[in-house]
Amino acid sequence: MSALLTVEDLRITFPTRQGPSEVVRGVSFTLGRERLGIVGESGSGKSQTGRALLGLTPPPGTATAKRLEFDGIDLRSASPKQWRALRGGRMSMVMQDPKFSLNPVMTIGRQIMEALAFHGRSSRAEKKARAMAMLEAVQIRDPERVFRAYPHELSGGMGQRAMIAMMLVTEPDLLIADEPTSALDVTVQIEVLRILDALVTDRGMGLIFISHDLRLVASFCDRVLVMYAGRVVEELKASELDRAQHPYTQGLMNCLPKIDNDTRPLPTMTRDASWAL
């Protein structure tokens, strides 16, 4: 499998009053046209890793890497113009919180069409048709209404689906999905996963799927990175998750409640300070 994305020794640092704080500390991985899951607890650096891949580390934070290549393009030296062509066009990201990630004074339709406006030429009617098709694809029942709606008029789950539609409408080669299904109920969650899955298998899209949910990641992805305190502590095939070596991953596995044998009291995880070293 040819590598779509190569990341080597990615580090992200934020200056703080106590001196620089490194929130991502040497992450390396490669991604083909496959589904890569990233799991890890809150604050372990999953979202910041995803943003750095798009060159969107929020200032005053800085990201450095030994290698950061997307389809043969060295992202570290990409010009603003190159970035604009890549973002939205070839790489995209479904953001974690639809409530804040949609512009409150712009209709959903305009925001989706805007994604198309800067990548290739198409007429307004074509853009609208593609936006509507995309809204239908993410299982929105009343796409005409949602197209004209403002973000505050949608429920959390509808907002999340509108966001997914907005980020997928340009048919990118790489999609970073930051907890794309957390706000959705189970049936819709499955639909959304099916859409993402189809994009990977049919169109050869590369997918980075960020989640808290180890069970979901294990069943949906091909490979899993486990992050802890800014590091990748383990990289596994999804099918081999039960062979995990690292105590944090094992702990996560043991925390999954099992349906068949009723565990009481519920297991708790004890974190070892040495894991964060």
Partner 1 sequence: MSGATKTGGRSRALPFAWKAVKLLASVALTFLGLLFVTFLIGRVVPVDPVLSVVGDRASQAVYDRVYIELGLDKPLIQQFWIYLQKVFTGDFGDSFMTKRPILDDIMRVFPATLELATFGVILGTILGVPLGVLAAVKQGRLADQVVRVVGLIGYSAPIFWLGLLGLLIFYAKLGWVAGPGRIDISYEYDITPATGLLLIDSAMQGKWAAFGNIFSHIILPASLLGYFSMAYISRMTRSFMLNELAQEYVIAARVKGVPEWRIIWVHALRNAAVPLVTVIALSYAGLLEGSVLTETVFAWPGLGQYLTNSLQNADMNAVLGGTLVIGVVFVGLNLLSDLLYTLLDPRVRRRG
Binding interface with Mg ion (CB under 5 A) = 47
Query: Least distance (Å) from partner 1 to the CB of residue 78?
Result: 12
Give 259's contacts (C-beta < 8 A, 6+ positions apart): none
Site for partner 1 in 104-163 (CB under 8 A): 104-106, 114-115, 118-119, 150, 152-153, 163
Site string for partner 1, 30-59 (x = CB under 8 A): ---------------------x--x-x-x-
The window from 96-104, 183-191, 213-221, 250-258 that contacts partner 1 (CB under 8 A) reads 96-104
87 is an interface residue for partner 1 by CB under 8 A = yes
Count of residues of this chain found to bind ligand ATP when the rule CB under 6 A is applied = 14
Cα–Cα distance measured from residue 81 to residue 67, given in angstroms and rounded to the nearest whole number? 20
Q: How many CB atoms lie within 10 A of CB 124?
A: 10
Query: Least distance (Å) from ligand ATP to the CB of residue 21?
Result: 7
111 is an interface residue for ligand ATP by CB under 6 A = no
3-state helix, strand, coil in the chain (%, to 5): 40, 25, 35
Q: What is the DSSP string of 147-194?
A: HH--GGGS-HHHHHHHHHHHHHTT--SEEEEESTTTTS-HHHHHHHHH
DSSP 115: H
Q: How many CB atoms lie within 10 A of CB 148?
A: 12
48 is an interface residue for ligand ATP by CB under 6 A = yes
**Closest Cα partner for 215 from 268, 275, 258, 157?**
258
Length in residues, the chain: 277
46 is an interface residue for ligand ATP by CB under 6 A = yes
Residue 14 binds: one of ligand ATP, Mg ion, partner 1, none (C-beta under 5 to 8 A by kind): ligand ATP
By CB under 6 A, name the binding residues for ligand ATP. Answer: 14, 23, 40, 42-48, 58, 61, 96, 212
By CB under 8 A, name the binding residues for partner 1. Answer: 51, 54, 56, 58, 80, 83-89, 92-93, 95, 97, 100-106, 114-115, 118-119, 150, 152-153, 163, 166-167, 170
